[in-house]
Structure 1
Amino acid sequence: MNGNINTLLREVYAGRFTDTHYEKLTACIEKYRPLITQNRKQKWDESDVVLIIYADQFHHEKAKPLAVFNDFYYKWFKSVFSHVHLLPFYPWSSDDGFSVMDYHRVAPESGEWSDIAELNKQARLMFDFVCNHMSAKSEWFNNYLQQKPGFENFFLAMDPSTDLSAVTRPRALPLLTPFTLHDGSQRHLWTTFSDDQIDLNYNEPDVLLAMIEVLLHYLAQGADYVRLDAVGFMWKTPGTSCIHLQKTHQLIKLFRAITDEVAPGTAIITETNVPHKDNISYLGNGRDEAHMVYQFSLPPLVLHAVHRQDVTALCQWAQGLALPGRDTTWFNFLASHDGIGLNPLRGILPEEEILHLVEQLRQEGALVNWKNNPDGTRSPYEVNVTYMDALSARDSTDDERLARFLLAHAILLSFPGVPAIYIQSIMGSRNDYDGVERLGYNRAINRQKYHQDDIESQLQASGSLRHRVYHALSRMIVLRRQSSVFHPDSAFTINSLTPQVMQITRTTKNGETLEALFNISNAEQKIKVHSTGFDLISECPVPHAELTLRPWQVMWIKKQ
């Protein structure tokens, strides 16, 4: 075991990580080491594009959902995406998978590990490591309630009179939840997200050992990318904000060090839906923490630009993007299984502009989730809407919807980093209000599930919005994957030529250059270009002349 792992363990636990703990950790690593494939891609490139999907996304009477998805992926996605991010596919009790009951099993209603292995033959895989909390209906938590030996401190009990007013709250729900133990005593346990999601107590070395085994198991099952869910909350110290604490960063460095030891080439990706400065802190020094961080500010800033028809704020933010080294990059996305986070806008846009954007979206049918503030007020923290409907008004034509949608995704695909596309986006989905009514929570608006025959029929219906979105976005993704100028490490500059026209330039080490132009407005825009080239999207030459960009038009001009 390398010295960096030992150093981190001493920093986190001091003398409480005993020789017995070291022996258990070493045995666990050596158990999984021969099970982990070593032929991993050692770094990212322009061909890496991720599809985000639920394991039970597609249904059919002929098979369980994972087997159905394997078939659907082969038909529709194999030539488009390199990676599949399977949202938590383990047995779960709530939150569409993020209340995990058993980290080591596949939910039997979705399939088996053999289905995951079959998918791995077609695509590289990204797993969720739900490392902050687990289900109140899990065996681990039942063992805690039954006061079984070894589980006494697996979860964090707290005297309810403790002053926890400084704790950052991501939800408008109680932080502590009372539970009754086997002997009749009551304990108030830390529940950051809900009373069905009990926070793990990383102050206990046995908890760390159990979760390291989960991580190693996922690597053995083929995970090339590992997403650390809600990772910023892992370590708690009353009297502090209990988010982004030093020991949380040290735990992530520990996960990174172990992963580098047994599975070099694996990417650790942190999910922290927080202001940009805090988010990028998880890249560490560029070599010791996350390989990628979610680019949470991008989705709401693109929406802000489209709604205002003004790229100024988006460009000013992006001009300040900087990575600590070439061993890190951005994980870029516009839509995900969650809503569009607003905290990542704070510190970038004035609060009144954020509230104005939220109200615009709400008037067009979006739903809003709120959080409580320490001063007793509340603020919107998330907008729930499909990205398709977030970009356009309800009375827009399908032509207008498609144009704005493709422009937004061209921005995503032009940014440095690895792009990820949510299943509802590539399917051209609209808001699922029936799902919200049936399931009773706002996020269901963007979590529609499909019967394979029905969705294939819709995708094949020439002229339908789904058909047009799937084919146009797939083509754009393939163009991106085939052009080395989109390598995540290629040089990136971004400028606003006018408030309505944005220019992104990507340049490789060899001097190959692409100039991307975006008209983020509903009016024609005339601009001048200063070199000849070829537009990859229209497949037309671009002369040395003035250009007229149609409303919402994008050009990817390969310089000649």
Structure 2
Amino acid sequence: MNQAALHKLIASQKGEQGLEELFQLRLATNLTLIKDLFFSLYPEEHFSETFEKLLKKLPKLFKTRPEILKQQDIARLEKGNWYQSEKLVGTQLYVDHFSKDLNGLVEKLPYFEDLGINFLHLMPLTTRPKGENDGGYAVNSYDKIDKKYGTQKDFEKLTKQLREKEMYVMLDFVVNHTSNEYPWAKKAMAGNKKYQEYYYTYTDRKIPDEFEKNLPEIFPQTAPGNYTFVPEMNKWVMTCFNSYQWDLNYTNPEVFLEMLTNLVKLANLGVDVVRFDALAFLWKKMGTISQNLPEAHMLTSLFRMCLQVIAPGTILLAEAIVAPTNIIKYFGENSRTGNECELAYNASLMALLWNAIATKETLLLHKSITNIPQKPKDGTWINYIRCHDDIGLGLDDRFIHEMGWNPQEHRKFLLNYYCQKLAWSPAKGMLFMYNPKTGDGRITGSAASLLGLEKALEENDTALIDEAVAKIIMLHGIVLAFGGIPLIYAGDEIATLNDYSFLKNKTKKEDSRWVNRPYHDWGGVSNLKSKKTPQSKVFFTLKKLIALRKQLSVFADANNLFLHQTNNKHILVFERKKGESNGVLVICNFNTTAEVIDGSFLAKLGYLKNQEFKDLITAKKTKLNSGFLEIEPYQLLWVRKMS
């Protein structure tokens, strides 16, 4: 009998006592790994008593978990890797920009059901400073809902509705830092040395200056450097992000114990997926850039192993927007199950798709993806073309060199292409955090504006409007078919343009990421029925693609994605395959002109019969002309194997 079946049997026969027995079983299963991880971070000769505190804390935290969520945990263990299902499609949103508050969001759930969305990533909902707060990522609390969104009861009402509709919710756990208004920071400023040791605090600049020799600047324009002087305690504190975000000192094991409690409180609100924010930064070490350190991986794994004991139905997402070879490591080192996060952002795919749009070529995308080590079978990606954040250019310099390009000049071209520095470019994006010392920068903008719709509408150019719509559909069609959970930023499904209203808000105007965090256009939604506008074309096509995805079991993530080379640099082809007879071939043209590929390529893979193929999107069979398949500019094909 496997562990999931054993869990179900015990829980069904023994009720509350059975749940307690299952907790003890999970603890026994994970205890050796928890102990090894803890003492790898915190040497046993100094922290054996702290480890005993952890062992006493775990059953106490388990007792705080609501009964309905304990039962859900059992059901999910029985179900297996629910997060790899082809039926999951997500969206990301700011509640106040989408529906004003949580009760409004409950009322809008039919909108998601109509589109086919069943996975919601809600941006931070907990209390935060009233002024600048990094979009809620400067936290004053980890579980108290900010009153502008509603109450904890309102959130629990939402999660109850989501469970009934078999929908899932993801919230952020800001694991790297707190705001300077967090209770620990306030106590530290008041002189409490215990809480000063919860952060990296120093009486002079000697150690900070040594750290600064290697630490990069995250926000060089608005928050240069990595330390802030706090006059209230007459000390310097590490602030890698903004001056009001204090980095937590995880070399102090008490911080881990406290944050584990905060993690469980968040999970107990009914959260299905916890997004570990900025986890690459968790461990700081002098002489390094303090990102992606082995200790950060061990700490993430320790969080996961403890959470599996307490709330095994809740899973973790790695928010690690780092180099492609580093992203994969946040699933963990175990080739089968991993031991860190079940989910990770596919930031590499995102950056490579935007590169392909700008260059009209797919060779760098193909080369990069095929050279990333395969993820563990029990992990999966979050695939997206953009999120609430900026678009970074996390491309591998080695592969850029192999393309014959200069990496620095190529990144400069991409910034110029998307940030209105090239008159011929259709993109209308904005530059974010440009660092003149390094030439590095990032891109902001809504998908529609970056893909040319805003400029095309301004110029009233019908051909360019159609081209922009095709680009929007093609990129979303790729992430809907790629291996993992597709995530659509709210508003992109109706081709929402840049929102420049942030420039009039003194707390937001220095942060151009707000240009791609628009208020939802409910007026535009009410006009979708016309079906002739760019917005309706995007909406109804994405709705169709989502429904198709859910019908095709081959889109469930089982490491069953295969990239194919066609010898045409403008064409991207990948296959989702399940056995010899069940497969879907995804074909895209990134060029502004029609391109062709040899039909024998499709025939060899089993997608052509009597010179005919079937496109699932149009539900039509098409016969090849002269043995070649012609793909229109920015056309997306989902081709089914011919029986």
Normalising by the smaller structure, the TM-score range is: over 0.9
Q: Give 1:346 deviation, angstroms.
A: 4.5
Deviates more, 1:69-78 or 1:383-392: 69-78
1: CA distance between counterparts of 2:543 and 2:399? Answer: 32
Note the alpha carbon deviations across 1:479-505, whole angstroms, 9 max, x for none.
Answer: 112211111115222134211222111
Note the alpha carbon deviations across 1:298-339, whole angstroms, 9 max, x for none.
Answer: 122112212222111111112224324211222211110001
Note the alpha carbon deviations across 1:146-185, whole angstroms, 9 max, x for none.
Answer: 234752412111331221211233221221101133xxx4
* Partner residue of 2:94 out of 30, 38, 54: 54
Q: 1:2-401 maps to which residues of 2 (within 5 A)?
A: 2-14=31-43, 15-16=46-47, 18-19=49-50, 21-22=53-54, 24-33=56-65, 35=67, 36-37=69-70, 38=73, 39-40=75-76, 42-43=80-81, 44-59=84-99, 65-77=101-113, 80-93=116-129, 94-120=133-159, 121-122=161-162, 123-148=167-192, 150-158=194-202, 159-162=204-207, 163-164=210-211, 165-172=213-220, 173-181=224-232, 185-286=233-334, 287-344=338-395, 346-349=397-400, 350-363=407-420, 364-370=427-433, 372=435, 377-392=437-452, 394-395=455-456, 397-401=464-468
1:311–1:501 Cα contact (<8 Å) kept: yes
Deviates more, 1:315-324 or 1:18-27: 18-27
- SS of the aligned residue for 2:64 comes to helix
Q: Deviation above 6 Å: which 4+ runs of structure 1?
A: none
* Mapped pair 1:502 → 2:581: no
Q: Which blocks of at least 5 consecutive residues in structure 1 are unaligned?
A: none
1: CA distance between counterparts of 2:360 and 2:53? Answer: 57
* Mapped pair 1:487 → 2:556: yes
Deviates more, 1:310-319 or 1:109-118: 109-118
2: CA distance between counterparts of 1:347 and 1:279? Answer: 17
1: CA distance between counterparts of 2:434 and 2:48? Answer: 37
Whichever structure has more helix as a proportion of its residues is 2
2: CA distance between counterparts of 1:29 and 1:347? Answer: 47
Change (3 A) 1:152 1:490: closer
Code of the aligned partner of 1:413: L
Deviates more, 1:101-110 or 1:428-437: 428-437
Change (3 A) 1:23 1:484: closer
- SS of the aligned residue for 2:230 comes to strand
1: CA distance between counterparts of 2:48 and 2:147? Answer: 36
TM normalised by structure 1 equals: 0.92
Change (3 A) 1:461 1:66: farther
Q: Give 1:108 deviation, angstroms.
A: 0.9
2: CA distance between counterparts of 1:233 and 1:371? Answer: 21
2: CA distance between counterparts of 1:153 and 1:355? Answer: 42
- SS of the aligned residue for 2:110 comes to helix
1:303–1:390 Cα contact (<8 Å) kept: no
2:502–2:515 Cα contact (<8 Å) kept: yes
Q: Give 1:208 deviation, angstroms.
A: 1.0
Code of the aligned partner of 2:449: D
Q: Give 1:113 deviation, angstroms.
A: 2.7
The share of aligned pairs that are identical, in percent, is 25
Code of the aligned partner of 1:22: L
Code of the aligned partner of 1:133: H
1:170–1:371 Cα contact (<8 Å) kept: no
Q: Give 1:277 deviation, angstroms.
A: 1.2
Note the alpha carbon deviations across 1:509-555, whole angstroms, 9 max, x for none.
Answer: 46411111112212222332322442110111244754322221111
1:228–1:270 Cα contact (<8 Å) kept: yes
Code of the aligned partner of 2:80: Q
* Mapped pair 1:406 → 2:473: yes
Q: Give 1:356 deviation, angstroms.
A: 0.7
* Mapped pair 1:445 → 2:515: yes
- SS of the aligned residue for 1:198 comes to strand
The structure with the larger Rg is 2
1: CA distance between counterparts of 2:418 and 2:115? Answer: 34
* Partner residue of 1:548 out of 630, 635, 641: 630
1: CA distance between counterparts of 2:128 and 2:329? Answer: 31
2: CA distance between counterparts of 1:285 and 1:306? Answer: 33
1:224–1:267 Cα contact (<8 Å) kept: yes
Residue number in structure 2 paired with 1:422: 489
Q: Give 1:240 deviation, angstroms.
A: 2.0
- SS of the aligned residue for 1:223 comes to coil
2: CA distance between counterparts of 1:552 and 1:456? Answer: 25
1: CA distance between counterparts of 2:587 and 2:503? Answer: 38
1: CA distance between counterparts of 2:55 and 2:554? Answer: 48
Q: Which blocks of at least 5 consecutive residues in structure 2 are unaligned?
A: 1-26, 401-406, 421-426
2: CA distance between counterparts of 1:559 and 1:319? Answer: 23
2: CA distance between counterparts of 1:462 and 1:283? Answer: 42
* Mapped pair 1:536 → 2:576: no
**Number of residue-to-residue matches in the alignment:** 549
2: CA distance between counterparts of 1:383 and 1:534? Answer: 38
Change (3 A) 1:258 1:542: farther
2:276–2:318 Cα contact (<8 Å) kept: yes
1: CA distance between counterparts of 2:255 and 2:114? Answer: 38
Code of the aligned partner of 1:49: V
1: CA distance between counterparts of 2:580 and 2:85? Answer: 15
Q: Give 1:455 deviation, angstroms.
A: 4.7
Note the alpha carbon deviations across 1:183-207, whole angstroms, 9 max, x for none.
Answer: xx40100001001111111122221
Deviates more, 1:545-554 or 1:417-426: 545-554
1:179–1:186 Cα contact (<8 Å) kept: yes
TM normalised by structure 2 equals: 0.81
Q: Give 1:102 deviation, angstroms.
A: 0.8
- SS of the aligned residue for 2:439 comes to strand
Deviates more, 1:342-351 or 1:400-409: 342-351
Whichever structure has more strand as a proportion of its residues is 1
Deviates more, 1:323-332 or 1:477-486: 323-332
1: CA distance between counterparts of 2:122 and 2:194? Answer: 31
Greater relative contact order (Cα < 8 A, sep 6+): 1
1:303–1:391 Cα contact (<8 Å) kept: no
2:389–2:513 Cα contact (<8 Å) kept: yes
* Partner residue of 1:467 out of 516, 536, 540: 536
Residue number in structure 1 paired with 2:5: none
1:342–1:382 Cα contact (<8 Å) kept: yes
Code of the aligned partner of 1:91: T
Code of the aligned partner of 1:200: L
- SS of the aligned residue for 1:389 comes to helix
